[in-house]
Structure formats: structure tokens, C-alpha cells
Amino acid sequence: MKKNKNYVDLKDQPVPEGQHLLEVDDLKMYFHTEDGVVRAVDGVSYTLDRGETLGVVGESGSGKSVTAMTIMGLISMPPGKIEGGDVRYRGRSILEMTEEEMQHIRGNDIAMIFQDPMTSLNPVYKIGKQVGEGLRLHRGYSKQEALKRATELLDLVGIPEPEKRVNEYPHQFSGGMRQRVMIAMALACDPDILIADEPTTALDVTIQAQIIELMQEMQEKNGNAIIMITHDLGVVADMADKIMVMYAGRPVEFGTADEIFYESRHPYTWGLIRSIPEQAIDEKKPLTPIHGNPPSLMNLPEGCVFSPRCPYATDKCRKQRPERVVTESGHYSACHYSGDPEFLKNAPETSRTRKDSKKGGEA
Ligand SMILES: Nc1ncnc2c1ncn2[C@@H]1O[C@H](COP(=O)(O)OP(=O)(O)O)[C@@H](O)[C@H]1O
Ligand SMILES: [Mg+2]
């Protein structure tokens, strides 16, 4: 493959001994607005290795997109400001990179599929040009070569008649097809890490399943890591290796998918599990949404940020911020009672039947 001759791809460098492909370490990104400080990301930590999928789950406004955009170096500063922490990619701090270095990283090493494909595709350029743009920029492809590869990529993501479609414009594509174009664009340069921000939210269930399957096929082939952002825990139930549950800018629970589904320790995660429709149907349990709304990130409640909505909250919860309770495997939960076996009996039954209910469905 052609390369920009003056640049050594970071993705070709080994991950330093004892480190991970991506390490997000107590990351804090605040927005300084006229009305006050918005604590959009307030202490996010996780690690990710090649071939792994991380699910980032939480209600709207919990800081999922801002976390991803910070990793991509796409937050305008000001109003944004890094208040602490670090993001290391293959051992190098992304936060210390120059804009020129970041331009090489974006699309080439770390690529993102954005929430809204219509605003992310440029309406005035043909699809082929947009899909091939990264190859021209990062790989030194000629116009002809980029168009040829763009055609192959459209074929790869299951777009019929790719030779014809490369010469069409975004408005000539359906929602599902546009989402496929976004995936083709994101995969063009073989990224090490693919960040997908609610890539299926606007799509119907069948297309959703196809898009997720496509991302997984690509991952099997390329060995890249995936960060899948969603407000729906059900979406990542079967695809994620690890899951971070976010609430009001903070991770409230992090663990392997099995830990999150079978041994979850945070009442907010329990609420998310109880609001997955399939689980409710399979288990003949009522679907119970979490009552109330997330707090304003400018004016967080004292104590545990989830306490105003938590059915188990005590005086201690309303007064004192909980520390993370971490297990030996690295499963952590920010709840005062996460270490109390009696309290954990409140976890929903459904959380321990993820695989079983799936098998039942297929039989
Ligand atoms: N440029 C900005 N200025 C001020 N606040 C912002 C800005 N961008 C995002 N926010 C705020 O950061 C919070 C987290 O947003 P976001 O990460 O988009 O949530 P999610 O993706 O989980 O729905 C929200 O309260 C949002 O209003
Ligand atoms: Mg978002």
C-alpha cells in the first residue's frame, strides 16, 4: 500500500511493553460557557487492545460523544478544556500531539463513524470522492487509484452496483446505504481503532443488525479495535468484550460484558438492563424505564450523581461521592454499596441470562 513518504504510521509501531493499544486515563473535558462550567467528561478511564470491542453506554447527554471527540482531537478549545488525565495511543499521548500529527491519526489510525450520516457526508461531492479522500490524504493515492479503491470499499460494505454508485451524491442513498458509506469511509485506511457513535440509531432494526454484523466482519478481517457508543445496552450485549456505563459525564461501572450483564453492581446499570425490551420480553418481566432525568452537568447533585433517581439511595448517597469499588479483574463500580453482597441481590435476574435468552431465541 502506498504511504505518505515522510510519515511513519503510528499503527505500524509496536505497543510498548505493559501498555495497551488505547489507554484513557482519568480523562476530564470541561466546557467553559457563559453560564458556567459543563463537566461533560469527568474522570473516564478504560483500556482497549487490538481485536477488542468496547461498548460505551449511557443516556443522552452523559458525555459519550464528547469522550470520543476528545480522543479524535475534535473538540474546540475553548470552550472545551482538558482539566486532567491522558489519552495514550500506542504509548503516545494524543493530548500532547500537534494538530499536524493529529491529522495523520484521524482517519488513518483512529477513524470515527459519526452519529448523523447526513451531516457528515458532504452533499455537493460524489460518494466516490468522499470515500477515497482519506486514501489521497494519508496514502498518496492518485485520483484514479482512490476511485478504484472506493468502488471496492462500497462493494465490501454491501452496496450494490458500486461502479455506478461511486458517481452518485449522498441524497441518492437511503439512510442504511449512507451508513454503509460512512463505514466504507471509516475503513478506507485500515484504522487501528474504529469509533462508531450511535451508528444505527436512525435505522430500522433489520438494517441495524446488518450494520453491526458488517462492522464485526471487518473487525475479524482487520483485527482493529471498535468503540461502539450507544444509549441502548441491548445493542452492545452480544458484540462488546468490555462495557463502560456512563452517567452524567462519569463512568459509573466498567467491566467485561459478562460482568456487566451477569454481575452488575450499579443501580444505574440495573436500570439500563431493565429497560432493554428484548430482555423484558424473554423473561416476561415488565419493562421498567429509569424514572426522572439526568442532572444538568453544570449543576451536579451533591453526593452520588445518580442518587436523586436511585431507588436505593440513602443519606450517605446524597451526601458523599462514592469512590470506585474495584474487583481483582478490574471490574469497577462507583456505588457505596457495590461491595455489599446483600445489596447486590437487588440486581435484575435478567442480567444473568444474556446468553441463555439469546440461545432460546435462535432455537
Ligand atoms: N461545545 C459545547 N459547549 C458546551 N457544552 C457542550 C458542548 N458540547 C457538548 N456539550 C455538553 O456536554 C454534555 C455531554 O454531551 P455528549 O457527549 O454529546 O452526550 P452524549 O453523546 O452522551 O449524548 C452535554 O451536556 C452537552 O450539552
Ligand atoms: Mg452522542
Q: Grid coordinates representing 92?
A: 503516545
The 10s digit of each residue's pLDDT in 211-240 is 888 889 889 988 999 999 999 888 898 899
Partners of 84 in beta bridges: 28
Q: Judge whether residue 363 has pLDDT over 60.
A: no
Q: Judge whether residue 283 has pLDDT over 60.
A: no
d(CA 81, CA 83): 6
Q: How high is the pLDDT of residue 189? A: 87
Ligand 1 atom at minimum distance from 33 CA: 4
Confidence of residue 360 (pLDDT cuts 50, 70, 90): very low
Do residues 285 and 348 make contact, with C-beta atoms less than 8 angstroms apart?
yes
Among 28, 59, 65, the mutation site with the greatest number of ligand 1 atoms within 8 A of its Cβ is 65
Q: Judge whether residue 355 has pLDDT over 80.
A: no
| Ligand 1 near 69 CB (within 6 A) | no
When pLDDT is averaged across residues 316-340 and rounded to a whole number, the result is 93
| Ligand 1 near 64 CB (within 6 A) | yes
The 10s digit of each residue's pLDDT in 318-327 is 999 999 988 8
Encoded amino acid at 245, one letter: V
How far does the centroid of ligand 1 lie from the alpha carbon of residue 159, in Å?
33
Q: Grid coordinates representing 251?
A: 463512568
How far does the centroid of ligand 1 lie from the alpha carbon of residue 63, in Å?
6
Q: In what order do the strands lie in the sheet with 242-247?
A: 110-113, 193-197, 225-230, 53-57, 242-247, 250-256, 332-333, 325-326
When pLDDT is averaged across residues 21-36 and rounded to a whole number, the result is 95
> What is the b/e burial string over 116-142, where b = at least 16 CB atoms within 10 angstroms of the residue's CB?
ebeebbeeeebbbbbbbbbbbbbbebe
d(CA 96, CA 71): 12
Rg from Cα positions in the chain: 21
Residue nearest to ligand 1 atom 10, measured at CA: 40
Q: How high is the pLDDT of residue 350? A: 59
Angle at 346 between CA 342 and CA 350, to 5 degrees: 135
Phi, psi for 75 (deg, rounded to 5): -90, 130
Nearest to 28 by CA among 84, 89, 78, 87: 84
d(CA 45, CA 264): 18
Label the pairing between strands 325-326 and 332-333: antiparallel
The 10s digit of each residue's pLDDT in 36-91 is 999 999 999 999 999 999 999 999 999 999 999 999 999 999 999 999 999 999 99
State pTM to two decimals. 0.89
Task: Dump strand ranges (E) for the chain.
Answer: 22-33, 36-48, 53-57, 80-89, 92-93, 110-113, 193-197, 225-230, 242-247, 250-256, 325-326, 332-333
